[in-house]
Chain A
Amino acid sequence: MTVKIPSLEEKSAIARLKQGDLDGLEALVKRHQVRAVSAAYLIVRDPKLAEDIVQEAFLRAAEKIDQFDESRPFGPWFLRSVINASTKVVRKQKRFIPLDGTRDEETTKVADWLIDPDPHPEQIVETQETRQMVWEALGELTAGQRAVIVMRHFLEMSEAEMTEELDRPLTTVRWRLKAARNQLRRLLHFFWKSEYQEAQDER
């Protein structure tokens, strides 16, 4: 999500859609569908469901397009609705607990790291295994936490934009990140040295 200023093409598409021309919507769909489905997938973890959510979001966007200020970029507005819808779906879905009643704490550690990673990221080597670990860790996060990760790292939203989307005061978001960092210091020392040493220093 690197485009903040609406392109002429996008402006034109929105204007056409406002006039009832479905070609305008088609242009918006083609432009944003992959990013939107990818973001939804990272939250709901089901590609078909992600597509359904994005389809619904486009339909809702079409219904509400009259309320949309076309001087603003469509992408962030639309993607936020996708994130919201995805979060709601996960909240409803993830209600059953595993039979063994246990959780993989390694995954939990990575989940904590995802919430607020250290500024020395390169020390975690990106391999198929660590990616798998990240995938599992994402699954361990709450819907809201997953949304934060996707917004921040995948959609590259700023903290202010995330706050707007999460409908939470900025202080709350910052508090969550700070608290997550504290937990990280306790749990993640095996993944890299500096955090562990900080934790040790604090003891």
Chain B
Amino acid sequence: MKDNHKPTGNKNPTIQSMLDHLAKETILPEKIDLWPAIRANLAASKPLSQPKELSMNKRFVFTTLAAVLVLSIVAVFVAKNVTTVSAKEILDRAYQVQTQAAAQGIEHIRTEIYGNLEAQPEEQGLYTTTDNYLDLQSDKFRRISTDNQTGGLIDVAAYDGSNAYSSDGTKGAPQSAAPLTIYRTPQNPPTTSVETLGNGNSGLDTKALFDKMRSDPQVQLAGKETWKDGRKVYVLRSEQPIRVLIANEAQSPNGIVEVYFDVDTYELVGNRVTIQKDGKELLIGSQRTLVDETLPEGSSVAWDLSDLQGVNIVDDPNGEHALPEVTSVEALAARIPSAYLLQTVPDGFSLEVSVLPKQFANRSGNGPFFYEAGYVNQTGDYFDIRAFDDTPLEDTSWADEIYTTASGLVLYFVNQPSIDPNFTGGLMQAPNGHTYAIDSTLPRETVRELMEQLVLVK
């Protein structure tokens, strides 16, 4: 599809290649054969007239529901000796429910969440309630998270159609009496909407847990529960590795995951995740959907957050609150001791160090690590080093040269003549396990020499 309609935006062969790879990693062409299922489906439905088909479907649904119900009741009595069939049927029904998408209206979901990913003793985690609205047509959204204990706002994000709102960089102090600062930036697309939040890296969101259950042959129907609000739910249980942070170290012990499904609608309505620690069951997290409704299109929702009390909305037309800040070497050393700098600034060059105002959680849990140090001379030549990742490189097959310094730094040069013949760059692996990106307009020989001058900031 490349001919008459020439795209005006940027295409990117790197992304294209990555998407191709990502798809091919899972979707194996030789294993895709949809035709038998499609043919069977067509064969099954063709001879039936519409009324008969509906009748059959209803009967099937009734039978399935009845079977699930019976199996559920049996499950209560036989406790752990439940068959996996009943659990599978519930999962299949729930899966079908999830795929029935609402196309319009305003989705409103309120969820109570308990999070204890640091595996602290019971009740030391944080209970929050998150209220999400999403206009399915316009992508307007608002998400308000509050601390259940204090009632204070923790995190706010919204998009009103022309402004993006974000408390990024100001959250994390639920006990503080200071008003939450919310930055308003015109014409920013919504990058944080309620529909994107199911893919966090905690691995504990309900959808992710549900997906794992679907592929777990050992999942069990543990029974039925009646909640305080009168809702009846099926409880499915499985054992899954749970990612937690114990003593600042990421671990993945096996835990017990329970996912709850509404008995009447088969919708996912919550989860509960526990692990064993010191011989005791420890609650790592839980979620319960308190409200799940679709409001009529055009319903009144304060997308611009004008209804919020105790907040300070600040106009940030250029989104500068998220721009990197120039800082001093001393400040860098105090904040990011894993930063590497040249021992001395080369003659004719000046140094500028910058860090992000808000440093985010990294994979190793070792604190902030993103920084950039740029050495630039009058003619525009530069040598840049910046944090790339806090974990070692796994794949270095792309490197066309590997250079190791006397101090043990390893630079994997990358050959990129297509963009700039003068460009020299690569990724540097340090003994601390971190990875750094280096790029420069200087020739490789000079870059190698500069590499020998890199030291941890002090």
Contacts and interface: CB of A to CB of B under 8 A. Distances in A.
B372 A190 contact: yes
Given A62-B42, A93-B98, A135-B22, A159 B8 contact: yes
Contact of B427 (A125, A178, A203): A125
A97 B290 CA distance: 13
B427 to A, nearest CB: 7
Contact of A58 (B38, B98, B126): B38
B258 interface: no
Contact of B23 (A42, A94, A186): A42
Contacts of A192: 439
Interface stretch (B48-56, B66-74, B100-108, B246-254): B100-108
Nearest to A38: B23
B422 interface: no
Nearest to B284: A99
A123 B439 contact: yes
A97 B200 contact: yes
B39 A26 contact: yes
A92 B100 contact: yes
A153 B15 contact: yes
Nearest to A164: B5
B437 A99 contact: no
A129 B363 CA distance: 13
B5 A158 contact: yes
Nearest to B26: A47
Interface stretch (B228-236, B389-397, B442-450): B389-397
B103 A101 contact: no
B416 A105 contact: no
A140 B199 contact: yes
B191 interface: yes
A154 B319 contact: no
Interface stretch (B82-90, B111-119, B307-315): B111-119
A40 to B, nearest CB: 9
A29 B211 contact: no
Contacts of A196: 324, 372
Contact of B322 (A118, A145, A187): A187
A49 B98 CA distance: 11
B16 interface: yes
B361 A101 contact: no
A96 B203 CA distance: 12
Nearest to B155: A101
A97 B323 contact: no
Contacts of A45: 199
B27 interface: yes
A50 B99 CA distance: 11
B360 interface: yes
B7 A152 contact: yes
B381 to A, nearest CB: 12
Interface string A1-39: 111100000000000000000100110011001100111
Decide if the interface of chain B is mainly helix, strand, loop or mixed: mixed
A23 to B, nearest CB: 10
Given A127-B398, A134-B18, A153-B11, A29 B323 contact: no
A164 to B, nearest CB: 9
Interface in B382-406: 382, 384, 386-389, 393-396, 398
B202 A100 contact: yes
A65 interface: no
A49 B214 CA distance: 11
B192 interface: yes
Interface in A88-128: 88-108, 111-112, 114-128
Interface in B310-331: 318-320, 322-324
B375 interface: no
A157 interface: yes
B319 A96 contact: no
Contact of A100 (B204, B358, B427): B204
A117 B289 CA distance: 37
B12 A117 contact: yes
A189 B19 contact: no
A202 interface: yes
B287 to A, nearest CB: 6
B201 A98 contact: yes
Interface in B88-146: 95, 98-103, 107, 109, 111, 113-115, 117, 126, 128, 130, 132, 136, 139, 143, 145
A140 B202 CA distance: 13
A130 B22 CA distance: 11
Please indicate which of the listed interface residues A111, A149, A193 has the most CB atoms of chain B within 10 Å of its own CB: A193
B9 to A, nearest CB: 5
B310 to A, nearest CB: 19
Contacts of A33: 32-35
Interface string A56-99: 00110010000000000001100000000000111111111111
Contact of A152 (B9, B418, B427): B9
B175 interface: no
Q: Which 5 pairs, one residue from A and one from B, show the smallest C-beta to C-beta distance?
A: A98-B200, A158-B5, A139-B199, A92-B101, A88-B101
13 contacts: A34-B29, A89-B98, A94-B197, A97-B111, A97-B130, A99-B284, A100-B117, A108-B191, A135-B22, A139-B199, A153-B16, A186-B319, A193-B384
Given A98-B204, A176-B189, 16 more contacts: A1-B1, A89-B101, A94-B194, A94-B198, A95-B194, A97-B287, A99-B114, A112-B191, A116-B10, A117-B10, A121-B14, A129-B389, A142-B195, A153-B19, A156-B1, A190-B386
Interface of B: 1-24, 26-27, 29, 32-35, 37-39, 41-42, 95, 98-103, 107, 109, 111, 113-115, 117, 126, 128, 130, 132, 136, 139, 143, 145, 154-155, 168, 187-202, 204-207, 211, 268, 273, 284-287, 289, 292, 318-320, 322-324, 358, 360-362, 370, 372, 382, 384, 386-389, 393-396, 398, 414, 416, 418-419, 423, 425, 427, 437, 439
